[in-house]
A and B are shown apart, each in its own frame.
Chain A
Amino acid sequence: MVAKRKISKGKYLVAFVISASIFVIGILIGILLTNAKLDSINEIQQMVRTQVLTLETQYSIASQNPCNFVDYPELTEELYKISDNLDNLESQLGKNNKAVLNSVEYYSLLETKHWLFLKDVSKRCGKDLNLILFFYSNDEGKCAECSVQGYVLTNLRKTYPEKNIYVYSFNADINNGVINTLTRLYSVKKLPSIVINDKLYSGFKDRDELEKIISIN
């Protein structure tokens, strides 16, 4: 009858080696560039730190008439950018990744410093600022509404620039000293939770409710 069929064993192997190599290269590129991303975030953090320090120093130097010297809005945009980037990295590397933990910890410190600084400015200079602390988790199972809450807060902040709204977000999933102190201070029990001008609001708040709280008509 007919000649026996062949199985191109060698070719299956070569094809496997080639495609497996391409696959591994892809994964390696991902890992390498994720590390580069971390470096770049750390650079931004460094920059923000310098800016916060500059502000504090300006503030101290001009002790005679400090309120005229303080110029802050641009700074906070950088702060928001770091927050987005860190959430992104957390989804890529996991919340237990050491580098992510370090970055988030450092970021929380910066945020807290910035928040304390503005709180002081608003008290001393009589500035009408709305300072919001937002505690969230990126884990959908733990807090399904957290990402929506973040969206609503960003929308609120951008829609009413005249209201001087500042949102400081804290990833409550991540165990660190600053975040723990803040959650204890305001007795945050559930997520999402929002602290607006030192008062705690537990659970999800839509834009209407938030507008009422900071009295926007």
Chain B
Amino acid sequence: MVSLLQIFVWIAFFIGMYIIVFWLLTFMEHFERSPKRLKKLPEVSVAIPAYNEEDNIEKTISSVLNLDYPKHLLELVVVNDGSTDKTEHIINNIINSNKDRNIKLITQKNSGKGSALNKALEISKGEFFVVLDADSFANSDALKKMLPSFEDKDVAIVLPLMKIHNPRSFLQRVQWSEYLINFFYKSLMGALNCVHVAPGPFSVYRKKILKEAGGFDERNLTEDLEITLRIHKAHYKVVQLLNTEVYTNAPDTLKDFYKQRNRWYKGTMFNMFNYKWMVFNKRYGDFGMLQMPRVFISGFLAVSLLLLTLYRFVFKTAFDHIYRWSKINFDLLSVIRNLSFDFSWIEVNFTNLFFFVVSIILGAIVIFYAHRFTKEKMLRYGIFSLPAYLILYSILVSGVWLGVFIEMLLKRKQKW
């Protein structure tokens, strides 16, 4: 009859479809958003934490110096987090050749990004505090496009559209597509105040709220996720914009990709457990009722789907075939000769076929609008990069999740 695997796949399909339909409805409601106007330009501080960033730091700093913003209202605080390369030397050179600009350098023993950001937060003078990772570069219109959103006094964080800088390798192009779709999705989440993470590249914070919340958690794997959750705890708003861009470098080897994601997902898991009381908590509105549960289960869902697929369609199929062949003395020649491809429509499971088609259509709608709203062409990186994203991305991400879960299980055993 209906197998357990089938039921599980249907449940996963239903949850996925429900979430997509919900956000598409949100999309239709919040289709047009009128841009707000700034009454008066405030003072802004940009903090760049840097650890061994000799290759990128110059470009990152100049993207700040090139911001379309009055010089006397822009403060730059670079924190050298105990770099062992030429980072500090390069920063000093830039300071010396830009005497007219307000650039400060703090040097500390290597103690992590959270700590570096807190140091910068302490000495910064601006009304707004911008975090800019040393491997990312902002568009020059970033501040002017982002600051107006703070006219709403409840807004604590404003985020720009993040794109991959110059994606060359295959893996980077997969991430390029991922980022476009992800940030389109985040802009919809923002409409219901459901953005759960403010990533490092050019997130603008209202400093008063950031300080009230207590600054960054220095011992957190993903301090950007943690501070966002803390700000949600205080019921402030997080806004995701698509009208200005920041470019970030993406890992181009599988190993680096795994390392980066492993940290992200482990941090997500850790913080989700710390904030699990927000899951299905009505006091946090849509954020508590939809977003927290979604983030909470996504890892489990990804891993169980990966394991089931691997078991059912890879290991079991391989084992079954080898076993069968052993019973005909591995006379594979006869197998090949007798191969028949007569396809019978009677064998098709039409329910699953229908669900598959629905998924494709929903996915296509999301992909289409994601490209339209991030002003990118779908075929920019060839016809293969999108299909590759669709096929590879879920496998890559579930693979990382699997690694995270295995690590967590092993660590637990060590403790016993």
Contacts and interface: CB of A to CB of B under 8 A. Distances in A.
Given A19-B14, A159-B338, A207-B327, A92 B349 contact: yes
Contacts of B154: 2-3
B354 A7 contact: no
B328 A37 contact: no
Contacts of B323: 148
A217 interface: no
A5 interface: yes
Interface stretch (B114-122, B123-131, B175-183, B280-288): B280-288
Interface of B: 1, 10, 13-14, 17-18, 21-22, 25-26, 29, 154, 192-193, 234-236, 282-290, 323-324, 327-329, 331, 334-335, 337-338, 344-347, 349-352, 354-355, 358
Contacts of B25: 11, 14-15, 18
A6 B13 CA distance: 27
Interface string A133-148: 0000000000000001
B22 A11 contact: yes
A26 B344 contact: no
Interface in A1-44: 1-8, 11-12, 14-16, 18-19, 22-23, 25-27, 29-30, 33-34, 37, 40-41
Contact of A5 (B29, B193, B349, B352): B193
B255 to A, nearest CB: 39
Interface of B is mostly: helix
B192 A8 contact: yes
B354 A8 contact: no
14 contacts: A1-B235, A5-B283, A5-B286, A5-B288, A14-B25, A26-B358, A29-B354, A33-B350, A88-B346, A148-B323, A151-B327, A159-B337, A207-B327, A207-B331
Nearest to A27: B351
A5 B284 contact: yes
B21 A15 contact: yes
Nearest to B348: A33
Of A26, A34, A40, A92, most buried by chain B (CB within 10 Å of CB) is A26
A151 B21 contact: no
A151 B18 CA distance: 41
A203 to B, nearest CB: 13
Contact of B329 (A11, A14, A207): A207
A46 interface: no
A2 B338 CA distance: 72
A127 interface: no
Leading 4 A-B pairs by shortest Cβ distance: A5-B285, A30-B351, A15-B22, A158-B338
Nearest to B236: A2
A22 B358 CA distance: 8
Nearest to A40: B346
A216 B11 CA distance: 51
Contacts of A84: 344, 347
A208 interface: yes
Contacts of B335: 155
Nearest to A97: B1
A30 B350 contact: yes
Of A2, A19, A23, A91, most buried by chain B (CB within 10 Å of CB) is A19
Given A15-B25, A207-B328, A29 B235 contact: no
Nearest to B288: A5
A208 B354 contact: no
B213 to A, nearest CB: 13
Nearest to A145: B327
B205 to A, nearest CB: 16
A196 B329 CA distance: 21
Contacts of A85: 344, 346-347
A155 B349 contact: no
A152 B329 CA distance: 10
Contact of A6 (B10, B286, B324): B286
Interface in A145-194: 148, 151-152, 154-156, 158-159
A22 B356 CA distance: 12
Given A2-B234, A23-B14, A158 B334 contact: yes
Given A26-B358, A30-B349, A155-B335, A148 B18 contact: no
Nearest to B26: A11
Contact of B344 (A25, A81, A91, A208): A81
A19 B354 contact: no
Nearest to B152: A3
A25 B193 contact: no
B359 to A, nearest CB: 10
Given A19-B14, A30-B351, A6 B334 contact: no
A16 B14 CA distance: 10
A192 B224 CA distance: 62
Of A7, A18, A41, most buried by chain B (CB within 10 Å of CB) is A7
A22 B346 CA distance: 23
A26 B355 contact: yes
Given A7-B289, A16-B18, A29-B354, A155 B284 contact: no
Nearest to B290: A12
A5 B287 contact: yes
A85 B338 CA distance: 19
Contacts of A154: 338
Contact of A7 (B236, B282, B334, B345): B282
